Structure 1
């Protein structure tokens, strides 16, 4: 995807430089002709030589002023009525300043009043004419060069629509043939913008797509609300068209996004931008030493990215999977750290959380202020047949990290938990519930502040349903869904992680924070939307196959947030579950860890059931 839209660091593009040169020539000709006219008309008190001497200064002054007023931006190259008005105002203003300057100095009247009128009109001709010619040339070449390109309809006949149109016209990497706009504004519908008809309202877009044989739609409404965006897409999602959009605030990290983006399923499931107490998070993390386990995973890596923005003094990244850590560190070196001038130190260690000696070496050497414990096995079907490994990492690993946090006086310990821990029907969920119990136990016996954050599925995580569906669609199908009625709660990874950080600020000790995941999504609906977003038709171009529930898999996930019984926090998307683990599980943990390696898979499940009373064992092996 080309990266030329809304460039932040580039002051002038090639076209802007060309127009600055053209304007310099035009300004020079304007003042030469003005001087000549004043000489021919023999105006008294006119000093021709002094006027010639000041000509280079005037040209430089005007070019700098026009640059300051952004007359050389990419968008302004394709001049429209708004740009013409802006050019008129800027030229008049620049000449008025010259007149005021010369009149304010005694015996310095190098230009007569005639100069203001004549030079202004002449300069406007020299400045506006090349831009109009450029626009006519663009229209001519776009119709000839891109007439066979994708027939494109732009949603939004405002500033965003102009941005998209200019990008399509000027960027040779686009193969689009714009055929019109569509908008809800009744004053615009039926009129022309930049020579293209404006259709409407947007709710009729499906009919417009059929009538005009549209092949691509670009949503060009600046900072559109997620709900409105989803509403618009649903008007025509069943049409076999490619869908793109302008970047929104959700896409912003450290730099302004510089491209027109493909619409993906995350855009259709996302909600309002999460409101955070960024000042509170900054006070919490700034200048602190932070250790993240599972740092190479989907949640762990995003934790690292977001924590770095709040300027910790250093970070320790721990993971058993070397490739994940390597890819993350490489990304950070080329992205964040090369722009960071605050001296944040980044350390990495390849280690497993169930290796207590190895982890103690790391914690004792590093002495973190905070630990975010994201290391865990998460795939339900795999853990059903590998229950010993689930206990070793999810329970023993958490137990080890809790003990080390207590021993080395870590200030706060945050466990990344899962919705599968609620009345679990699988090994993974049962081990995560036990990990939550460990958190509450250690919070009672330690000066360290322990808490857990529980949430559901995150979009795009490694091995999750969204990347699986993408791969299946790319391979021509079938897309596999376990049941027609299966539903899940979804949240984007950045959204979940930002709420984890907010929960860590709220934590006073022993809480199990629950994130509001919104409304559940039917997986089969998700599959159908992903197929349609690819410009294909479900069941026709890409088949959908029902495969049956997998071992330990629930048809309906438990409702995470009970807004009547859960405790509200200062953030409307974070609640606290009112459960209190009063049992002393130190003895039980030792019993569990002493026995689990000696049992077969089913025996391990029954042992786990002994300590997690809400766990329902699947007897099938």
Structure 2
């Protein structure tokens, strides 16, 4: 790759040398035609020196870093400014007494003009040839007729990407924009046809097949409305632009055209965190994340890493996940040598007390985030012994060691299913909450838990399942038409976990306000539409019935009308009041000694003895 780039730069250097030489020769020819006599003393030697110095300056300024396929006005301006400035310097030199007058000063009017034309000319010709070769292949007949929503700078970038990217099979018909002043005008060679509110009419008139959203910060509720509007048309896909940091030439932005995800349609305000407080809490500490390779655990590792702990310990039973997040963070360190975080990926289980204690002894963590748990409701119904082994015994092991080795704070990642649980998973998570509440009052460590609902895209969540079912051609399976769940994105949830950890003073269960619940059936509809298909026409949605232990409606996490929850300094974080938990209430010694001896029914009864709100048979009407 480096040798190819070097060869390419050498070609540009040669072409620039030829361009500068031609500018001088053409100027001399013009002077001779005009009959002006002048003795060009030492010109060949001076010209070699001028070419050398200009090329060195071009390199320093970054002219050779410009990728010609992305040459824009800023790049052209840079070439013009450098060329004019260097020639002005040469003219100033010619005014100095004693400097050989190798060229009349007035000739630099011609030389500068021709230099600018030749230096820019071949670059623009190359840029034009790329454009013509790409656009010629994208005819109306063979490409998807596409509308770009937004006739601003983002829309211009979208058009540029479509015209240059050979992998995009789009033909842009035109733009739509809500600014009346733009309607009728053109971006490049494409017209701003009408307002976005006329999208239905424009789609029918031009037989549009794809719509690209190219408006930054467009309200999610408006995107939802557009998606609903497109649903009546057959096989129309809606996509959006995604901007990333610039390429190496001149701070240009790189644009990708990507599918709109369900996460993009969540109608919620951005969650703002007190990042300075989190930074003060994490920076310089040794942080242990149990279950650090899971969907929540790995995002915890990412965000904790950014707050510069002294050491980050990724502890997980599954080696592949632990390795993946370790390598991801190591790559970030490799790219930024100022990052000094020590990263350790360790394999083991929280229910293995000896292995876990070895980690505490060797690495001496000061903060623990306990995310290791089994979370799949149907699987835990079938394997309650394993749920107790990890979710209960594993939590007690971690909490015991946290107190034994004087950890500052331990935070348990809990679940909304711990509220009046109807399944083993929820009951064991409630058990884990009670364990950390108990340990808070018997040792130096400050314990807390954070309880929240489903996270979009996490392992076992409905979104990845729907994606796989769509790839298979359907149907999308929903357990009940009215089933609802609270949703939050993984980064949102983890950010609030970190914020809660800052607030923790010991013994709290923090409750995250998840916003309004979402109907899973509606979610399935949106995912089908986003794929450019029609629900129950192209892809069916099938109702399959509630699974064992599954609730129709999740409990409301935050009851704003009750005195049950205390407010924190963050509008999305509340504290649920907790009573002290005595050792005899947990019955941990008996459970630890006997849980593997019993069958599933007996294990569930053991759970129900401790978690009095747990209904073994479930309540299908809740």
**Which of the five TM-score ranges fits, normalised by the shorter chain?**
0.7 to 0.9
Q: Summarize the alignment of residues 484-503 of structure 1 with structure 2, pairs less than 5 Å apart.
A: 484-503=481-500
After TM superposition, give the deviation of residue 598 of structure 1 in Å. 4.8
* Counterpart pick for 2:150 among 150, 156, 165: 156
Given that residues 46 and 112 in structure 1 are in contact (C-alpha distance below 8 angstroms), is that contact kept between their aligned partners in structure 2? no
3-state SS of paired residue (2:182): coil
- Aligned partners of 2:368, 2:422: CA distance in 1, in Å? 29
Tell me the residue number matched to 2:369. Answer: 372
- Aligned partners of 1:282, 1:578: CA distance in 2, in Å? 25
After TM superposition, give the deviation of residue 511 of structure 1 in Å. 2.1
Once the two structures are superposed, residues 446-472 of structure 1 have per-residue CA deviations (whole angstroms, 9 ceiling, x without a partner) of 211211111111111112111111111
* Counterpart pick for 1:172 among 166, 170, 178: 166
Q: How many residues align?
A: 607
- Aligned partners of 1:171, 1:615: CA distance in 2, in Å? 57
Compare 127-136 and 426-435 and name the one that shifted more.
Answer: 127-136
Q: 1:131 to 1:322 in 2, by over 3 A?
A: closer
Compare 191-200 and 451-460 and name the one that shifted more.
Answer: 191-200
2:187 paired with 1:193: yes
Given that residues 481 and 543 in structure 2 are in contact (C-alpha distance below 8 angstroms), is that contact kept between their aligned partners in structure 1? yes
Given that residues 41 and 100 in structure 2 are in contact (C-alpha distance below 8 angstroms), is that contact kept between their aligned partners in structure 1? no
Q: 1:461 to 1:428 in 2, by over 3 A?
A: same
- Aligned partners of 2:603, 2:386: CA distance in 1, in Å? 10
Tell me the residue number matched to 2:202. Answer: 208
Given that residues 250 and 273 in structure 1 are in contact (C-alpha distance below 8 angstroms), is that contact kept between their aligned partners in structure 2? no
Q: Summarize the alignment of residues 167-316 of structure 1 with structure 2, pairs less than 5 Å apart.
A: 167-222=161-216, 233-236=227-230, 239=233, 240-248=235-243, 259-269=256-266, 271-316=268-313
Q: Summarize the alignment of residues 206-605 of structure 1 with structure 2, pairs less than 5 Å apart.
A: 206-222=200-216, 233-236=227-230, 239=233, 240-248=235-243, 259-269=256-266, 271-333=268-330, 335-339=331-335, 341=337, 342-563=339-560, 565=563, 566-573=565-572, 575-590=573-588, 591-594=590-593, 596-605=595-604
Q: 1:511 to 1:199 in 2, by over 3 A?
A: farther
Given that residues 138 and 171 in structure 2 are in contact (C-alpha distance below 8 angstroms), is that contact kept between their aligned partners in structure 1? yes
TM-score by length of 1: 0.85
Q: 1:159 to 1:111 in 2, by over 3 A?
A: farther
Q: 1:314 to 1:586 in 2, by over 3 A?
A: farther
- Aligned partners of 1:184, 1:269: CA distance in 2, in Å? 23
Alpha carbon RMSD of aligned pairs, Å? 3.7
- Aligned partners of 1:404, 1:105: CA distance in 2, in Å? 85
* Counterpart pick for 2:118 among 119, 126, 138: 126
- Aligned partners of 2:37, 2:180: CA distance in 1, in Å? 57
Compare 164-173 and 457-466 and name the one that shifted more.
Answer: 164-173
Compare 410-419 and 120-129 and name the one that shifted more.
Answer: 120-129
Q: 1:619 to 1:310 in 2, by over 3 A?
A: closer
2:137 paired with 1:145: yes
Compare 558-567 and 473-482 and name the one that shifted more.
Answer: 558-567
Given that residues 35 and 48 in structure 1 are in contact (C-alpha distance below 8 angstroms), is that contact kept between their aligned partners in structure 2? no
Given that residues 181 and 199 in structure 1 are in contact (C-alpha distance below 8 angstroms), is that contact kept between their aligned partners in structure 2? yes
- Aligned partners of 1:274, 1:189: CA distance in 2, in Å? 36
Q: 1:166 to 1:35 in 2, by over 3 A?
A: same
- Aligned partners of 1:572, 1:162: CA distance in 2, in Å? 39
After TM superposition, give the deviation of residue 501 of structure 1 in Å. 2.0
Structure 1 unmatched runs, 5+: 1-8
After TM superposition, give the deviation of residue 201 of structure 1 in Å. 1.6
Tell me the residue number matched to 1:53. Answer: 46
- Aligned partners of 2:441, 2:96: CA distance in 1, in Å? 79
- Aligned partners of 1:551, 1:464: CA distance in 2, in Å? 16
Once the two structures are superposed, residues 457-499 of structure 1 have per-residue CA deviations (whole angstroms, 9 ceiling, x without a partner) of 1111112111111111111111100111111111121222222
- Aligned partners of 1:11, 1:283: CA distance in 2, in Å? 46
Structure 2 unmatched runs, 5+: 247-252
- Aligned partners of 1:340, 1:288: CA distance in 2, in Å? 20
Q: 1:178 to 1:70 in 2, by over 3 A?
A: farther
Given that residues 28 and 59 in structure 1 are in contact (C-alpha distance below 8 angstroms), is that contact kept between their aligned partners in structure 2? no
- Aligned partners of 1:206, 1:98: CA distance in 2, in Å? 61
After TM superposition, give the deviation of residue 109 of structure 1 in Å. 6.9
Given that residues 230 and 267 in structure 1 are in contact (C-alpha distance below 8 angstroms), is that contact kept between their aligned partners in structure 2? no
